[in-house]
Chains A and B, each alone.
Chain A
């Protein structure tokens, strides 16, 4: 622990401190990217999986990805660092993710052929696109 004495520092030391601290904070803020990636992978796997079970079970399980998004959003609020531009990035990603999940759910329950088909894979990919985009945005920084 520091003793609290605020002695001055050289400009070089200040520059090094800025870089080191910023790097540590940015690394701690990358949880947002991993979280979006986890949502994308889980949702994609979920929709592929429900294509291979009975119609009744599929329909009963189909709202779960939306619930997953809500739960993860709540978990995210407990993190100690919120990355820069989070307000600009996260809300559109989550809203787009909810929109594609809802649209996918409606499509699946109305016009989609039941069972495991190529359409199901395409639909699942469409539904997770916002989260993949959000993940890429955070993890590339």
Chain B
């Protein structure tokens, strides 16, 4: 029986390879920073679910949370860290190997 490890699917980062987190990472990779509200509407999840996934990505060191104010209103931005961009790049490379061409660099 062939053991796992050499096939590119084994290089698909499980932190990223989940529907909601993949959408989040794709969005953040395509921008410098994205605000909470836009991201929530883009990914079509609830506030609490988005927060849960962002916490997981932040704990993995992939995402940085930037809190600030717009006037008196609190505003939360998300941006990919260098580690997050590297991890997403590696994920894309593995994905390209699996599907041939397909996903373009976000």
Contacts and interface: CB of A to CB of B under 8 A. Distances in A.
Contact of B42 (A12, A25, A77): A25
Contacts of B43: 2
Interface in B2-56: 9, 12, 17-23, 26-27, 29-35, 37-38, 42-46, 49, 52
A17 B95 CA distance: 12
Given A4-B45, A8-B17, 11 more contacts: A1-B49, A2-B45, A2-B46, A4-B52, A14-B22, A17-B26, A21-B23, A21-B27, A82-B33, A83-B31, A84-B31
Interface residues of A, number: 32
B18 A25 contact: no
Contacts of A22: 26-27, 29-30, 104, 106
Contacts of B63: none
Given A7-B19, A9-B19, A18 B46 contact: no
Nearest to B38: A80
10 contacts: A2-B44, A2-B46, A9-B17, A11-B12, A14-B103, A17-B22, A19-B104, A21-B23, A26-B31, A29-B31
Nearest to B37: A80
B26 A18 contact: yes
B1 interface: no
B62 to A, nearest CB: 15
Contacts of B103: 14-16, 18-19
A75 to B, nearest CB: 11
Across chains A and B, which 7 residue pairs bring their CB atoms closest together, nearest first?
A: A15-B103, A80-B38, A22-B106, A21-B26, A22-B30, A15-B102, A25-B30
Q: Which of B9, B29, B31, B98 neighbours the largest number of chain A CB atoms within 10 Å of its CB?
A: B31
Contacts of A80: 34-35, 37-38
Contacts of A84: 30-32
A82 B32 contact: yes
Contact of A1 (B33, B44, B102): B44
Interface string B86-106: 000000100100110011101
Nearest to B92: A18
A78 interface: yes
